[in-house]
Amino acid sequence: MRELLELLEKDHTLTVAQLAVMLDKPQEEIAALIKQYETDKTIVKYQTIVNWEKAGADRVTAIIEVRITPQREVGFDAIAERIYRFPEVRSLYLMSGAYDLLVIVEAKTLKDAAQFVSTKLSTIEGVIGTTTHFMLKQYKEAGVILEDEEEDRRLVVSP
């Protein structure tokens, strides 16, 4: 059910009771649907978006373009797996265009990130080259604007 998934994607703290009312469905049905989505991994995970800068934590994010030679039988997937298993890798995408994989790496310092690229990533067999970009500022994450200055400017009572 598209609407249920959209609601949970935006706010997974909504209770089954609230969801049932809002979607005009019995609670049992909603509970069963959620269970099913969780089991078949349609719902992969419930996560929280943190503004780490605000939390005062040191973090750097590197966006790395990776060019690789695809391998017989497994294509890009085998190399992709060797890369995404590293906990430093936050996201990984197969791309069309000038490079093949887009890797987003999170590390404590610039040095750590650079180290990861030079010692772990570029040494993987099949990796032909990498281009690393460091992220300077995060404005929006997963559809959410981090420092949204738009506020409710309405009068408290109006006709």
- Minimum CB separation of residue 135 from another protein in Å reads 23
Side chain identity at 26, as an amino acid letter?
A: P
- Minimum CB separation of residue 19 from another protein in Å reads 9
| Cβ closest to another protein, residue 85 vs residue 154 | 154
Contacts of 130 (CB under 8 A, 6+ apart): 64, 65, 66, 67, 117, 121, 122
- Minimum CB separation of residue 53 from another protein in Å reads 24
- Minimum CB separation of residue 158 from another protein in Å reads 5
The footprint of another protein (CB under 8 A) covers 3, 7, 11, 14, 18, 21-24, 150, 152, 154-159
Contacts of 121 (CB under 8 A, 6+ apart): 64, 66, 83, 103, 105, 127, 130
- Minimum CB separation of residue 47 from another protein in Å reads 19
| Cβ closest to another protein, residue 26 vs residue 75 | 26
| Cβ closest to another protein, residue 58 vs residue 151 | 151
Report d(CA 48, CA 142) in Å as an integer.
10
| Cβ closest to another protein, residue 48 vs residue 96 | 48
| Cβ closest to another protein, residue 57 vs residue 144 | 144
Write out the DSSP string of 18-56. HHHHHHT--HHHHHHHHHHHHHTTSS--------TTTTT
